[in-house]
Structure 1
Amino acid sequence: MTDQTVGRVLGTSDATPLQFWVAVAPGAYLQLDDVVVTGRELPDGSTVTIAGVVTAVRARHEGAMFDSDVFAIADGALPAQIQEAAEVTTTRVDPEVYVPPSPGAVVRRATGDARAGALYFDRMDRRVPMGFGRDGEPVYLNADFLDGSRGAHVSISGISGVATKTSFATFLLYSMLRSGVLGGAGEAANTRALIFNVKGEDLLFLDHPNTRLDERTVAAYGKLGLPAGAFRDVRVYAPPRAGDSSGTPDVGSRQTGIDPFYWTLAEFCKDSLLPFVFADADDERQQYTMVVHAVTAHLVKVAVPAEGGISVEGRRINGYADLVDFIVDQLSDEETRHAWTGSAVGLGTVNAFARRLISSKRDLARLIRGDLAQRRPHSINTAESAQLTVVDLHNLPDRAQRFVVGVTLKREFERKEKTGSANPKLFVVLDELNKYAPREGASPIKDVLLDIAERGRSLGVILIGCQQTASEVERRIVTNSAVKVVGRLDPAEASRTEYGFLPPAQRQRALIAKPGTMFVSQPDIPVPLCIEFPFPGWATRPAEAGTPPDSALRSVVQKTDPFAVVGAAVGGISDDEIPF
């Protein structure tokens, strides 16, 4: 397809090397996000190619003076004509001679190689498909800024239930794993991903094809160079049922291919996990945190593994509730309190710690066990798990969720530190990031996430964080994210400085963006791109889980013209189809 002439550079508005206006030709049109290209001839005879993205469009009557003239013009009583104009923000100048385009210069809609050059796709050695532009053509993300080669981490923001943050995060992960950008088959197979499921049981069926896949969706995936289907290698973990001594995973819909996870009392003491019981950022502002660390250190010294539990100073302990009661008894006794606190701590501070610890029994008793020590492996270790590990948290109370997230990330990061290698990669998808790493306060989880944001790239740990409000997330985590993604935003949130990378028109559009529409900013491209990603090829709820034969999918692809149906397939997530 050849470039299409759509107008000429406007002469009544200033044209600069970075921004200019285009008068749209009769019979043509330009819409937001269109990619256009024009040229400027220099005195030496060489030509500078200037490409850009349409960031604003307007139409007006030329010849009218008053607002009421519109009626006379419509009735034919006053001569005037309609003129449309589009604002273009420059994305690329080649060669880099920053001169403005000449008024009257022909402007064309960029397609094919011209479009790829305007959006720097031609300079991306490894391209990750992330959806389609407004023109129905694929849009790519530079894998170098996703896997840590030149940058790392993704920040996804938007209104809960409308912005489809988790849907896009899983699609991006699927595209990364199946597009072939990770190199050879060995490297791709060694790549690991960890997802925390916090909303229902939506993410427990990622290895099941979606029964709602149709011809148009399969064709859309085909145009992106991706197979339409489910994740291939998935292992699901869920907490044991409360009060169940057999350790049965606490899930309702998925009955096979799921393992329980928990920590033994010996692990809890030896690995210094007590601070994660107090993982709320508000806790770190309390004085009893010094007691937390003193008790943690003492447990490391005195706790001895014993069959079915631990032994502490000659007392047998078989469960988390017993351990809490024992610690409280030791702190209540004046003769033993000093040995456990390590210093002269006020009784009020000790009581505050004890009250908080006692209240954790109900939330954490099923996660910290003494009665399941002899069962099958129970630890979450992505290096020994499947390519994609899903940790189900939706049945856990808030404190237990914080404990699981904090301890799991701590252990995974420590394993990567011990190896000291960036390979294999580990992608971590964490929703509700503003809860785990809030802007104010400190907590053990926040410390781990900051470590991942600041040092994870060198170790191959990549964070894909989702949050409703980026303004409430620790600034250093957002700043270290090379890729920033925005879905539907709340009006008050859209005005925050964290979204300064969005042009004014895109900020306004983010207030009305439909599910499946995202604005993606990446270092390679000066202007955020508006994209729509296809409906998930994997099941997003139990009712969608199925296993259609491969032959059926192949026949759908063969019978379908991808270009004709892409427009109908993308953005096909209506309000009642929001997966997560």
Structure 2
Amino acid sequence: MSQVGMVLGSREAKALDFWVAVEEGRYLRLDDLVYVEFPHPDPRKGSVRYYGMVDQVIKLYEGAQFDTDVFLARRDLLPVSLSYAAHVQVTRIMPEEYLPPDPGAAVYLAQEETLGLALYYDRMQEQKLPVGLLKNGEVAYINFEFLNGFKGGHVNISGVSGVAAKTSYATFLLHGIFQSSANRQKANTKALIFNVKGEDLFYLDKDNSGLNDEGRAAYQKLGLPAQAFQSVAFLAPPRKTPGDILADVGRPDASAYYWDLVQFCREGLLPFLFTDRGAMSNLGFLIDQVTERLRRLVGDENDKQGQRGPHIVVDDWSDELSTSEAHVPFDELGRQKIVTFAQLVRYIEFKLLGPESADDEEKQKGDPRWTARQARGTLEAFVRRLRASIGNVEHLVRGDKPGKRPNPLGSQAQVSVVDIHQLSAQAQMFVVGSILREVFGRKEKGDYAGRVFVVLDELNKYAPRDGESPIKDILLDIAERGRSLGVILIGAQQTASEVESRIVGNAAIRVVGRLDAAEAERPEYRYLPPSFRQRAVILPQGTMILHQPEVPVPLALTFPLPAWAMKKDEVQEDVSAEKLSRLID
């Protein structure tokens, strides 16, 4: 036991907080954990032990009355005493007897076993997941049951871009999930990561050349291996150039992903091209109607009459592309083959607005089965938005080759990294929405029994506080029902105040890096005590503030440099004899 002071007698000692006079030669810092034990007024109940965290420290001269007295005191012309005091916020009382501690009671620094009691580690037992290191060098844990969906789920990370290290900490959490003994279902755990900035996450399977001995020691302290991710698949959108379909990233072993036209229609992916369905009252209804008509056009996959793709064949429309140029098979003669997304858009325009060759607008009428009795202004607004999407997604939705959509649940790899950083905002919405809906849908059907952790940065773009969109609906579904199905969202954003409140509110684990001063005062951060909100403005890179349900106070922690490369320059070159031999051969 290491005594650091006594309960102060000149200030009120309460049942939930008290002040400590720090002994000369000892010190207390913010975030230090202490405990005090004193006898219960009823002798039959023994003693009461209080555990708490230091959330304020002060020093002042006792005996000084004026501001200038400090100069006299330093010259030994004024008799003063230096007071060093710390305010303690109680985290736990054993037993639960809410009595104020006795002034003069000895206060000890909580370490090892007593630190574990102060932070409820004893209740976590085998569910302790390491999430970083505390100021005193001890390991910080969370209860994995509040992350894996059993008692709670989802993580939300906020912080200034480039300083808060949100993506690095999200991958650090994943590393712990895959390597810690707290996760007893590692073999049935998968992760889906959306890469939104450069090619930063395309080297997760490579060791980081910048990891030093101090970093390796930190991983050893955490009980985690200092190594890169072992099972990763990399997927990227195809290049827009003609010819072979190749992934548009520098990594040669990355696979290109895209959807064929039949998949686009059958799976009802059209709504993910519209991010402003709330702009017009009837637009959402028309989107649903056209989506259903496209689904009926291609038919059911198990139906003999259903179209097999990748192109679509129709018999009520002719495009400028001739039958001979389209290479229509004999059994499809007299029908139009739609092989590009642009053609599909023109076909939808024909079904909604009628043929362009009509003499006047009065004669231009669409198919009533498609128009759903919507006004022409609504139909034209729909078509304009759809036309604008052609340049953004025509390389992602195509009819020349069978689709290769991302399939993170069916992949042999444990981690799937899906690149979207080079896509337009609309294409990013389409890709993220389409993949998340498939993952969530398959989990609802019970096609995959394990847990899926989804890492998505820039959450304010996909689920803004205002407005409606299909992707926002999917994310709300994941936030509200995902944990019961085993779909856990690890979301990140610069400003939680701009994200749909129900998504942030459903996150059991909240993490904060460096915050903007104005953002730190927003109501979304009221779960942090004032001292933590003040510190969030000056947090250095690699330091985070973490809040979890089981511990009543946030934890300030650090995490080591990722053992995996976060960009190409960090990749540790393999100079082993085996590697050199393969290169020579």
**Fold agreement, TM-score > 0.5:** yes
Larger Rg: 2
Please list the CA deviations of residues 183-231 of structure 1 after superposition, one character each: whole Å capped at 9, or x if unmatched: 1xxx212210100000000001111111112111111100110110101
**Residue number among 496, 502, 517 corresponding to 1:491 in the alignment:** 517
Please list the CA deviations of residues 76-111 of structure 1 after superposition, one character each: whole Å capped at 9, or x if unmatched: 111102111111100110111111111111101111
Q: Aligned equivalents of 1:224 and 1:387: distance in 2?
A: 22
- Which AA in structure 2 matches 1:38? V
1:192·1:383 contact (CA, 8 Å) conserved in 2?
A: no
2:286·2:372 contact (CA, 8 Å) conserved in 1?
A: no
Q: CA deviation at 1:20?
A: 0.8
Q: CA deviation at 1:289?
A: 2.4
Q: Aligned equivalents of 1:381 and 1:174: distance in 2?
A: 17
Q: What aligned pairs does 1:178-577 form with structure 2 within 5 A after superposition?
A: 178-183=179-184, 187-252=185-250, 254-256=251-253, 258-278=254-274, 280=275, 282-286=276-280, 287-303=282-298, 305=307, 308-313=310-315, 314-333=335-354, 337-373=366-402, 377-419=404-446, 423-546=449-572
- Which AA in structure 1 matches 2:12? D
Please list the CA deviations of residues 445-499 of structure 1 after superposition, one character each: whole Å capped at 9, or x if unmatched: 1111111111111111111110111111111111111111111111111111111
Change (3 A) 1:533 1:403: same
Q: Aligned equivalents of 1:475 and 1:37: distance in 2?
A: 37
- Which AA in structure 1 matches 2:445? K
Aligned to 1:204, the other structure's residue is in SS state: coil
- Which AA in structure 2 matches 1:98? Y
2:154·2:506 contact (CA, 8 Å) conserved in 1?
A: yes
- Which AA in structure 1 matches 2:146? F
Please list the CA deviations of residues 106-127 of structure 1 after superposition, one character each: whole Å capped at 9, or x if unmatched: 1011111011111111211211
Query: What residue in structure 1 maps to residue 157 of structure 2?
Result: 156
- Which AA in structure 2 matches 1:387? Q
Q: Aligned equivalents of 2:206 and 2:195: distance in 1?
A: 16
Q: CA deviation at 1:548?
A: 5.4
Q: For structure 1, which segment, 468-477 or 57-66, has the greater mean C-alpha deviation from structure 2 after superposition?
A: 468-477
In structure 1, runs of 5+ residues without a counterpart are 552-580
- Which AA in structure 1 matches 2:57? V
Q: What aligned pairs does 1:73-222 form with structure 2 within 5 A after superposition?
A: 73-125=73-125, 126-183=127-184, 187-222=185-220
Q: Aligned equivalents of 1:159 and 1:395: distance in 2?
A: 22
- Which AA in structure 1 matches 2:273? V
Aligned to 1:297, the other structure's residue is in SS state: helix
1:261·1:380 contact (CA, 8 Å) conserved in 2?
A: no
Q: CA deviation at 1:325?
A: 1.7
2:55·2:88 contact (CA, 8 Å) conserved in 1?
A: yes
Q: Aligned equivalents of 2:472 and 2:507: distance in 1?
A: 16
Q: Aligned equivalents of 1:271 and 1:378: distance in 2?
A: 12
Q: Aligned equivalents of 2:92 and 2:82: distance in 1?
A: 31
Q: Aligned equivalents of 1:104 and 1:149: distance in 2?
A: 44
Q: Aligned equivalents of 1:378 and 1:120: distance in 2?
A: 44
1:159·1:490 contact (CA, 8 Å) conserved in 2?
A: yes
Query: What residue in structure 1 maps to residue 71 of structure 2?
Result: 71
Query: What residue in structure 2 maps to residue 39 of structure 1?
Result: 37
Please list the CA deviations of residues 257-282 of structure 1 after superposition, one character each: whole Å capped at 9, or x if unmatched: x111111100001111100111x2x3
In structure 2, runs of 5+ residues without a counterpart are 299-305, 316-334, 355-362, 578-585
Q: CA deviation at 1:307?
A: 5.2
1:382·1:412 contact (CA, 8 Å) conserved in 2?
A: yes
2:192·2:408 contact (CA, 8 Å) conserved in 1?
A: no
1:245·1:371 contact (CA, 8 Å) conserved in 2?
A: no
Q: Aligned equivalents of 2:410 and 2:141: distance in 1?
A: 29
User: How large is the Cα RMSD of the aligned pairs?
Assistant: 1.7
Q: For structure 1, which segment, 58-67 or 378-387, has the greater mean C-alpha deviation from structure 2 after superposition?
A: 378-387
TM-score, reference length from structure 2: 0.89
Q: Aligned equivalents of 2:122 and 2:4: distance in 1?
A: 24
Change (3 A) 1:85 1:199: same
Q: For structure 1, which segment, 171-180 or 381-390, has the greater mean C-alpha deviation from structure 2 after superposition?
A: 381-390
Is 2:62 aligned against 1:62?
Answer: yes
Query: What residue in structure 2 maps to residue 560 of structure 1?
Result: none
TM-score, reference length from structure 1: 0.90
Q: Aligned equivalents of 2:57 and 2:576: distance in 1?
A: 45
2:262·2:310 contact (CA, 8 Å) conserved in 1?
A: no
Please list the CA deviations of residues 335-383 of structure 1 after superposition, one character each: whole Å capped at 9, or x if unmatched: 651435343222211111111100000000010011121x7x4442323
Q: Aligned equivalents of 1:97 and 1:420: distance in 2?
A: 50
Q: For structure 1, which segment, 243-252 or 155-164, has the greater mean C-alpha deviation from structure 2 after superposition?
A: 243-252
Aligned to 1:65, the other structure's residue is in SS state: coil
Q: Aligned equivalents of 2:207 and 2:83: distance in 1?
A: 49
Q: Aligned equivalents of 2:576 and 2:531: distance in 1?
A: 43
Query: What residue in structure 1 maps to residue 301 of structure 2?
Result: none
Please list the CA deviations of residues 539-562 of structure 1 after superposition, one character each: whole Å capped at 9, or x if unmatched: 0111212355899xxxxxxxxxxx
Query: What residue in structure 1 maps to residue 360 of structure 2?
Result: none
Q: CA deviation at 1:296?
A: 1.0
Aligned to 2:538, the other structure's residue is in SS state: coil
Q: Aligned equivalents of 1:322 and 1:8: distance in 2?
A: 80
1:452·1:461 contact (CA, 8 Å) conserved in 2?
A: yes
Q: CA deviation at 1:439?
A: 1.2
Q: Aligned equivalents of 2:504 and 2:166: distance in 1?
A: 15
Aligned to 2:216, the other structure's residue is in SS state: helix
Change (3 A) 1:100 1:538: same
Counting matched residue pairs gives 539
2:262·2:309 contact (CA, 8 Å) conserved in 1?
A: no
2:260·2:309 contact (CA, 8 Å) conserved in 1?
A: no
2:497·2:524 contact (CA, 8 Å) conserved in 1?
A: yes
Change (3 A) 1:457 1:194: same
Identity of aligned residues (%): 48
